[in-house]
Amino acid sequence: MLSARIRIAARLLAVAALAALTAGCFRPMYAEHTDGTPDLREKLMGVELPPIDKPNASREARVGVEVRNALAFKLYGTATGMPPTHRLVIRFTSSRSSLIIDPNTGLPSSENYGIDAQYNLIEIVTNKSVMTGTTFSRVSYDMPGSYQRFSRTRAYRDAEDRAAQEIADNISTRLASFFTAGT
């Protein structure tokens, strides 16, 4: 009985010792730095977001604006940004596929919308690419009645917005990781 308590106490002591050793390694991502180096928020505010190159007045141009606006809000918040240190170039393609077809009408009742995006972070001073990546988003949407064309259009637009938001989330997370870890 006594040896079991000693073993438990020894294990707890070992866990506490390991926790104490690793406690100094943890540094919150968005914390301000006391050593004078720029914090993550300042680094993200230095990313320039040029408009995404898509034909004017197209559906993809609207989605490109949604991606850019969502990403700008994630990077800058309500601020306007700082002098740019990096430029983020984004290219994407979108897809749409019918998942479920109503056998009576031959019209789709459920569809899938997808975005495949490629992004390239370029350091402005050297004009060299420092990070590239790809991401994707797939969202599904239902049409509440095959003959309601306005509800189908609205569902499609909402799916585009959700996919754009997901792409912006993925890219901002990757940028935060790059600026924190440098890889």
Query: pLDDT for 79-123, tens place per residue?
Result: 766 789 999 999 999 999 887 777 777 777 788 999 999 999 999
- Is the alpha carbon torsion for 158, 164, 165, 170 positive or negative? positive
- Amino acid identity of 34? T
Q: Give φ, ψ of 39 to 5 degrees.
A: -85, 175
72 and 62 Cβ atoms separated by less than 8 Å: no
The CATH fold of domain 38-181: Double Stranded RNA Binding Domain (3.30.160)
Label residue 1 by pLDDT band (50, 70, 90): low
Q: Per-residue pLDDT tens for 136-169? A: 999 998 876 656 768 888 889 999 999 999 999 9
